[in-house]
Structure 1
Amino acid sequence: MTQAVFVRPAAEADLPAILAIYNDAVLNTTAIWNETPVDLDNRRVWFAGRAARNQPVLVAESDGEVIGYASYGDWRAFEGFRHTMEHSVYVRSDRKGAGTGAKLMEALIAVAAERGVHVLIGCIEAENAASIRLHEKLGFRLVGRFGEVGQKFGRWLDLTCMELRLPSA
């Protein structure tokens, strides 16, 4: 029997699982437009950078295993954008479609609101209908689509951009 999924702040001990989820997305999906897998040192630097900027990394856990993670970071590196963050959410391939992404996003949205984020931005490969539907259910609205701005697996990719305005503190 599968235990319930719960979301918690990530710890450094979670980085091997986060690395595996990330690299699977790199190698097998268009969710991440990188083509080269990374190593554990890369994820350590990423994790430390998030911590240094008070930007959360959350994990979803079930049966004692990390099955997904979510985070946000700077949308643009200019002071005027300091209250707008771009988020990422990834679920282990064998656990997709079971609500884990929604739980991660709901928790991330709550943390963002507590920390004074005004807008969360989601940039999603335009053919990723499941992710777009998830964001719509969470209140994100479509704000644009960029055509053929990226490339992976030998084809051009479009980028759908969505935003969620959070309540002011």
Structure 2
Amino acid sequence: MDITIRDAVEADLPGILDIYNDAVANTTAIWNDAVVDLDNRKAWFAARRERGFPILVALRGKQVIGYASYGDWRAFDGFRHTVEHSVYVRSDVRRTGSGRKLMKALIERATFNGIHVMVGCIEAENAASIKLHEQMGFSMVGRFSEVGIKFGRWLDLTCMELKLSK
């Protein structure tokens, strides 16, 4: 599959919205219960851009098939060199390498931007995401038990980190 990775533009937001809402409605990748509208994604996009955080999209042709971003891990000055990232791909293109390409590009951008540590917080039963993170050099650093709830069940959170600089 021929995939292009580039910085997102506002015209990509309908595709990003569809991917986000599918993850909310059908997975435990995003621990929100309600889908959102385009205005919500526009506000998210503007907030990320205002803070200088990247938003990348994966395209097959002109179609958005995935996106990745990072933002504050914790909103205190001392954590300014650590970010938490997110990578989401459309359900019909999972396990095709698009998530890996997005992750690689996001790691490169974080390194270029002087980020010291990237943190990934993953629902503990999401074996595919945990495996991808391990393959990308992330280490498991902890697991929180029953810290979230979705679809009527308690969820555990696996935390992983990747040190980008010494």
Q: Normalised by the size of structure 1, how large is the TM-score? A: 0.97
Residue 95 of structure 1 corresponds to 93
Report the number of matched residues.
Answer: 166
Q: Deviations over 1:4-23 (max 9, x none)?
A: 00100000000000000000
Matched residue type, 2:151: F
Residue 137 of structure 1 corresponds to 135
Percent identical pairs in the alignment equals: 68
Q: CA deviation at 1:162?
A: 0.1
Mapping of residues 11-30 of structure 1, within 5 Å: 11-30=9-28
Out of 104, 107, 114, the position equivalent to 1:109 is 107
Structure 1 stretches of 4+ moved >3 Å: none
**Structure 1 Cα separation of the partners of residues 76 and 121 of structure 2:** 19
**Structure 2 Cα separation of the partners of residues 113 and 53 of structure 1:** 17
**Structure 1 Cα separation of the partners of residues 70 and 62 of structure 2:** 24
Residue 78 of structure 2 corresponds to 80
**Structure 2 Cα separation of the partners of residues 162 and 103 of structure 1:** 19
Out of 60, 66, 69, the position equivalent to 2:67 is 69
Out of 21, 25, 38, the position equivalent to 2:36 is 38
Checking the alignment, whether the CA contact within 8 Å between 2:28 and 2:123 is kept in structure 1 is: yes
Q: Deviations over 1:4-61 (max 9, x none)?
A: 0010000000000000000000000000000100000000000001000110000000
Checking the alignment, whether the CA contact within 8 Å between 2:117 and 2:165 is kept in structure 1 is: no
**Structure 2 Cα separation of the partners of residues 103 and 6 of structure 1:** 9
User: What secondary structure sits across from 1:18 in the alignment?
Assistant: helix
For the aligned residue pairs, the C-alpha RMSD in angstroms reads 0.7
Residue 128 of structure 1 corresponds to 126
Q: CA deviation at 1:121?
A: 0.2
Matched residue type, 2:108: A
Unaligned runs of 5+ in 2: none
Q: CA deviation at 1:64?
A: 1.5
